[in-house]
Chain A
Amino acid sequence: MTRFSSFRDFDWVLLGFVSLLSLVSVLEIRSATAMTKFHGFDHKQIGFLAIGMVLMFIMSLIDYHRLVDVAYAAVGVSLAALVAVLVIGTKHLGARRWIKFPGGVHFQPSEWVKLVLIVALARYFWGLAGRDLTWRDVAKAFAMVCVPMLLVLKQPDLGTALTYLPVLVMGLFLGGIRLKQVAILVVTFAVLGGIGWNTGKLLKPYQKQRLTSFMNPDDDPKGSGYQIRQSLIAVGSGGVWGKGTNRGTQTQGDFLPIPYTDFIFAALCEEHGFIGALGVLLLYFMILMRLIQNAQTASDLPGTFIIMGIVAVIVFQIAVNIGMVLGLMPVTGIPLPLLSYGGSSVLFTFLALGIVMNIRMRRFVN
């Protein structure tokens, strides 16, 4: 066997940063839920993290080339699962997102589809590597991402559906899309988007409202405008040093909406101030730089593509989530990776990290 991998090559530095952020996550979830009926979510998050770590190690042992091999088949299975959700899924808060299995396990396919798409696009662009993309290539890539995306939009789950886009964008960017093509695509989507927005076929009214109310939060003081306003108050009133753990009045008084998931960064900003927020952003920066370094040193193209796909998703989620918390982006319901509470989000992140580790461990193998 020339193929050799060892945990010496496991990215312990990356894991260190990730663990640090996970610790911040657990502590902030603990503080944000202490006075609520969600009390104890910090323990559940620890459980998710533990399972995530285990899955990460298992994932790092499976050669990512195997995943690349089965990627197209997995896309087929994903599409089937997404259709199944729409047909037999459980309805919760007006959206059909979960498949309920006997034994009380709820399965939300849309999160996993993200991972499948990352690997599938890596395989796809690997196949095209070295030449400029034709319109046909671009169209195929679009189809691969947009079909599952539309199915997820149908659930409806705007937030998760949007996270598929950065995978496509990153793939096209690295895959060699030409500037002219980019320009044409941007213009086309701007026109189509404008038509779709105005005819109202594309998005539900409440989704549209959510997308616009961040610009004028006071227009909708009870809906998403209220959420943004409370988020801004939480962040702003945190000041430089923050109010301290368990002392965020916005977080503890239930003014800040869902302070343990989508708005956890606002809770953190309130309780730990500018300094704490800066620390978390620094951790994200370190993690992202480390991931890109791993992409650079990957032994082959699919490895680079996969890692950069993961980077794209994480960067997108950070931008959209923190942008939302700071009033720069609309409320879309996208969680903050590694910080927000939630099993699906944690498991996705750690499975992705497992693949990154896998790629890194095989960087000298050729």
Chain B
Amino acid sequence: MSLAAPAPRPQLSDEKFSPAKLTSVQYGIVLLLAVLVAGLWRLQVLGSSNWKVLAEANRVRKVPVLAPRGKIFDREGRLLVDNYPSVTCYLLPEQIKDMATELPMIASGLHLPIEQLEATMKRFQGAPKYQPIPLKQDISPDEQAFIEAHRNELPELETHDEQRRLYPKDGFAAHLIGYVGEVSEQMLATDSRYAFYSPGDVVGRSGVEQTYDALLRGVDGSRDVLVNSHGKEVGHLGQELATPGKDLRLTIDLDVQRAAEKAMDGKTGALVAMDPHTGEILAMVSRPSFDPNQFSVRLTKSYWNQILNNPDHPLLNKAIQAQLAPGSTFKIIMSLAGLQEGMAQTMHVFCAGGASFYGHFYACDVHHGMVDLPHAIPWSCDAFFYTLADRLGIDTIARYATEVGLGQHTGIDLPDEVSGNVPSTAWKLKTQHEKWFAGETISVGIGQGAVTATPIQLARALSGIASGGVLRRPHVVFPDEVPADQLTAIHESFPGSGDKTIQVSPENWQIITDAMANATNPSAGGTASIAHLDGIDFAGKTGTAQVMGHDALAKSGGGHKTVPNAWFVGMAPRRNPDIVVAVLWENGNWGKYSALIGAQIIDTYVNKQRSRDNNLRIAENPKPAPAPTPSAPPGTPVAGAAGQRTPAAE
């Protein structure tokens, strides 16, 4: 003991405890370290590869790089649908510090109702915290500035650049072009074409956008982004470039389309203009229209309700989806049947403002007197066609109607075409389990009764007849723009009667087309005389289709919806036409009014072709078409002067 230690320390022996105790502590430490080394061995040597995978999964996130969608042009390379850069605001739920104060700030900064914001938050409640929530698409520059200025207070806000569709204004060609939207759960679940899409993918939802989605969309790329634990991007590894979607050239002629849009303004109905040589659609309009731009960004509830509640169904493409009684336009098909059957050539019918069949009087609008076929067509004499129908019988009529493509899809490359109906004895037996009554045939003769057709079907049928029997599959995209396998796939998903040739003798062809030319001829007293075009070989057929029977009409007490539908099918020139037009003006009252609309389209088209033939510059056509010239090469005889006949029978 130390002498220098005065403290009252307890007087104790310095006898040490057994050294074995210290040794056992040493062994204990060795044991502990061995356990730790074993733990390290297990993780770092045995299980390392698994943990490495997890470490990579932690920090590398695949971020899709969206492919810009292909642009859409008209047949001459004029831009119809473009893309524009747009900014979407996302919210990172992980970064929110104080929901109660930050949500109102975000709401006011992004001009969102707070209720909507709260609803969005609620909707994504179950989602993982690191998953960004899309708050608002297509934000304005001042909203972008707000996010930029509040980076520190609101770190949860994030912006992403995207490409959006820019469609023509005022619903121009909206039904034809269609629109894009997020793929629906139903499409993913039931449609095999969407098997490889994931929720949230933007796809074409109607029109060309839908049919040619596979071409237009391109292939999305991806970036491997390095993120930290908060999901913030801290760097990137590599990337797979996106393949931009293919630009698409439509068969639409912007000038004709413009004329059609203008002519149909304020009306309800549809218009199709087609090149009968090829089946190329030159213009397609359906009214009322809608704004596809509203669909490609966020559809507002009020706009959606407005569309849903419109009794005229703005989303319907009536050119291919309105199946209505064709009225007197059906008389062209009746004439073909009558002539081909050798029955109509010599037939004369006395029209006393109608005629009686099976004890019933069937009315005609006018007291025509003695009528033969060349007069019955321009005058649209019902009595003549009642008689012809009665003599042909329903099954013969049905055979010809089917032959020219009625009652079946035309196979146009647009979604959701309807087939219309061609009645026959077999059809009635099948659908109503009843025998066909001969009396029912009478009204079919003037395109009433159970026969229905779409504007595109009538345009194609007339094209075939006026071209001497050559029918084409209508289409809105040049087939040579589309890879062969995709073209096959599209043809298979839109089956129809397609391209085909039917028997039309040259004499019959001449009789029908000449009679149709007289329909627009005032001196011949044609029903479409008011639509006469000076200097253009313009032929056509009006149709005034009753929307309800006489009895029902009497009970309904009138009103706009009871007014007959006004039809017109027309072409120029009368034989081997370069353009065929079908016009449906719902409740338009008289076919001649639709004939006026058709005449405007024909006029526009013919004048354009003529000024081109004379090498005149067309104002709206600043650059030449990038792709091969349309199928009618320069120099092909186009609608010539009145009276000039193109050679018959090729």
A residues whose Cβ falls under 8 Å from a Cβ of B:
1-3, 65, 68-69, 126-127, 129-130, 170, 173-174, 176, 222, 230, 232-240, 249-250, 253-255, 269, 273-274, 277-278, 281, 284-285, 288-289, 292, 295-296, 299-301, 304, 308, 311, 315, 318-319, 322-323, 326-328, 365-366
9 closest A-B pairs by beta carbon, nearest first, are A236-B51, A237-B55, A326-B39, A274-B44, A236-B43, A239-B48, A237-B51, A253-B228, A254-B229
Provide the bound-state CA to CA distance between A174 and B17, in Å. Answer: 7
Q: Which residues of A have CB within 8 Å of B114? A: none
B97 at the interface (CB under 8 A from A): no
Across the two chains, which residue of chain B brings its CB closest to A316? B32
Contact status B14-A234, CB under 8 Å: no
Shortest Cβ distance from B4 into chain A, in angstroms? 6
Contact status B44-A235, CB under 8 Å: yes
Given A69-B9, A235-B51, A288-B29, the answer on whether A174 and B44 have CB atoms closer than 8 Å is no
Provide the bound-state CA to CA distance between A149 and B109, in Å. Answer: 52
Q: Which residues of B have CB within 8 Å of A301? A: 12, 14, 16-17
Contact status B48-A236, CB under 8 Å: yes
Q: Which of A69, A235, A323 contacts B43 (CB 8 A)?
A: A235
Within 8 A of A (CB), among B413-467: none
Within 8 A of A (CB), among B30-56: 30, 32-33, 35-37, 39-41, 43-45, 47-48, 50-52, 54-56
Provide the bound-state CA to CA distance between A274 and B51, in Å. Answer: 14
Provide the bound-state CA to CA distance between A2 and B47, in Å. Answer: 60
B19 at the interface (CB under 8 A from A): yes
B306 at the interface (CB under 8 A from A): no
Q: Which residues of A have CB within 8 Å of B4? A: 1, 3
Contact status A281-B33, CB under 8 Å: yes
Shortest Cβ distance from A305 into chain B, in angstroms? 10
Q: Which of A65, A254, A366 contacts B228 (CB 8 A)?
A: A254
Across the two chains, which residue of chain B brings its CB closest to A284? B33
Given A236-B43, A239-B44, A300-B14, the answer on whether A281 and B22 have CB atoms closer than 8 Å is no
Contact status A311-B25, CB under 8 Å: yes
Provide the bound-state CA to CA distance between A239 and B40, in Å. Answer: 9
Contact status A253-B29, CB under 8 Å: no
B226 at the interface (CB under 8 A from A): yes
Q: Which residues of A have CB within 8 Å of B48? A: 236-240
B5 at the interface (CB under 8 A from A): yes
Given contacts A2-B3, A233-B54, 4 further A-B contacts (CB under 8 A): A127-B12, A130-B12, A240-B44, A250-B55
Q: Which residues of A have CB within 8 Å of B16? A: 301, 304
Chain B count of residues within 8 A CB distance of the other chain: 50
Contact status A253-B59, CB under 8 Å: yes
B547 at the interface (CB under 8 A from A): no
B10 at the interface (CB under 8 A from A): yes
5 contacts between A and B (CB under 8 A): A236-B47, A237-B54, A239-B45, A326-B40, A365-B2
- The digit string for B274-296, where 1 denotes a CB below 8 A from any CB of A, is 00000000000000000000000
B15 at the interface (CB under 8 A from A): yes
Q: Which residues of B have CB within 8 Å of A233? A: 51, 54-55, 58
Provide the bound-state CA to CA distance between A269 and B41, in Å. Answer: 11
Contact status B5-A130, CB under 8 Å: no
B360 at the interface (CB under 8 A from A): no
Q: Which of A127, A240, A308 contacts B25 (CB 8 A)?
A: A308
Contact status A130-B15, CB under 8 Å: yes
Shortest Cβ distance from B274 into chain A, in angstroms? 61
Q: Which residues of B have CB within 8 Å of A65? A: 2, 5, 7, 9
Q: Which of B12, B25, B30, B43 contacts A326 (CB 8 A)?
A: B43
Given A236-B48, A323-B36, the answer on whether A253 and B229 have CB atoms closer than 8 Å is yes
Q: Which residues of A have CB within 8 Å of B37? A: 278, 281
Contact status B13-A129, CB under 8 Å: yes
Q: Which of B2, B29, B39 contacts A315 (CB 8 A)?
A: B29
Contact status B227-A253, CB under 8 Å: yes
Q: Which residues of B have CB within 8 Å of A254? A: 228-230
B21 at the interface (CB under 8 A from A): yes
Across the two chains, which residue of chain B brings its CB closest to A173? B21
B234 at the interface (CB under 8 A from A): yes
Q: Which residues of B have CB within 8 Å of A269? A: 40, 43-44
Shortest Cβ distance from A198 into chain B, in angstroms? 29
Shortest Cβ distance from A358 into chain B, in angstroms? 14
Across the two chains, which residue of chain A brings its CB closest to B2? A3
B26 at the interface (CB under 8 A from A): yes
Across the two chains, which residue of chain B brings its CB closest to A1? B4
Contact status B13-A130, CB under 8 Å: yes
Contact status B12-A255, CB under 8 Å: no
Shortest Cβ distance from B15 into chain A, in angstroms? 5
Across the two chains, which residue of chain B brings its CB closest to A328? B39
Provide the bound-state CA to CA distance between A180 and B474, in Å. Answer: 100
Across the two chains, which residue of chain B brings its CB closest to A253? B228
Q: Which residues of B have CB within 8 Å of A288? A: 29
Contact status A129-B17, CB under 8 Å: yes
Provide the bound-state CA to CA distance between A279 and B226, in Å. Answer: 31
Contact status A238-B59, CB under 8 Å: no
Across the two chains, which residue of chain B brings its CB closest to A312? B25
Q: Which residues of A have CB within 8 Å of B28? A: 315
Contact status B21-A240, CB under 8 Å: no
Q: Which of A253, A281, A296 contacts B234 (CB 8 A)?
A: A253
Q: Which residues of A have CB within 8 Å of B5? A: 65
Q: Which residues of B have CB within 8 Å of A327? A: 39, 43
Q: Which residues of B have CB within 8 Å of A277? A: 40, 44
Shortest Cβ distance from A252 into chain B, in angstroms? 8
Shortest Cβ distance from B428 into chain A, in angstroms? 67
Q: Which residues of A have CB within 8 Å of B45? A: 239-240, 274
Q: Which residues of A have CB within 8 Å of B30? A: 285
Shortest Cβ distance from B36 into chain A, in angstroms? 5
Q: Which residues of B have CB within 8 Å of A308? A: 22, 25
Q: Which residues of B have CB within 8 Å of A238? A: 44, 48
Q: Which residues of A have CB within 8 Å of B2? A: 2-3, 65, 365-366
Provide the bound-state CA to CA distance between A174 and B40, in Å. Answer: 31
Q: Which residues of B have CB within 8 Å of A326? A: 36, 39-40, 43
Given A253-B226, A274-B41, the answer on whether A232 and B51 have CB atoms closer than 8 Å is yes
Across the two chains, which residue of chain A brings its CB closest to B24? A173
Shortest Cβ distance from B267 into chain A, in angstroms? 61
Q: Which residues of B have CB within 8 Å of A234? A: 55
Given A240-B44, A278-B37, A281-B33, the answer on whether A295 and B22 have CB atoms closer than 8 Å is yes
- Name the residue in A254, A311, A327 with the highest tally of chain B Cβ atoms < 10 Å from its Cβ: A254
Provide the bound-state CA to CA distance between A278 and B38, in Å. Answer: 11
Q: Which residues of B have CB within 8 Å of A328? A: 35, 39
Q: Which of B1, B12, B21 contacts A126 (CB 8 A)?
A: B12
Provide the bound-state CA to CA distance between A129 and B39, in Å. Answer: 39
Q: Which residues of A have CB within 8 Å of B39? A: 322-323, 326-328
Q: Which residues of B have CB within 8 Å of A273? A: 44
Q: Which residues of B have CB within 8 Å of A249? A: 55-56, 58-59
Q: Which of A230, A239, A285, A366 contacts B29 (CB 8 A)?
A: A285
Q: Which residues of A have CB within 8 Å of B59? A: 249-250, 253, 255
Provide the bound-state CA to CA distance between A2 and B48, in Å. Answer: 60
Given A249-B55, A255-B59, the answer on whether A236 and B44 have CB atoms closer than 8 Å is yes
Provide the bound-state CA to CA distance between A319 and B34, in Å. Answer: 11
Provide the bound-state CA to CA distance between A17 and B160, in Å. Answer: 53
Provide the bound-state CA to CA distance between A239 and B226, in Å. Answer: 21
Provide the bound-state CA to CA distance between A288 and B33, in Å. Answer: 11
Shortest Cβ distance from A244 into chain B, in angstroms? 14
- The digit string for B39-79, where 1 denotes a CB below 8 A from any CB of A, is 11101110110111011101100000000000000000000
Across the two chains, which residue of chain A brings its CB closest to B234? A253
Across the two chains, which residue of chain A brings its CB closest to B47? A236
- Name the residue in A1, A299, A322 with the highest tally of chain B Cβ atoms < 10 Å from its Cβ: A322
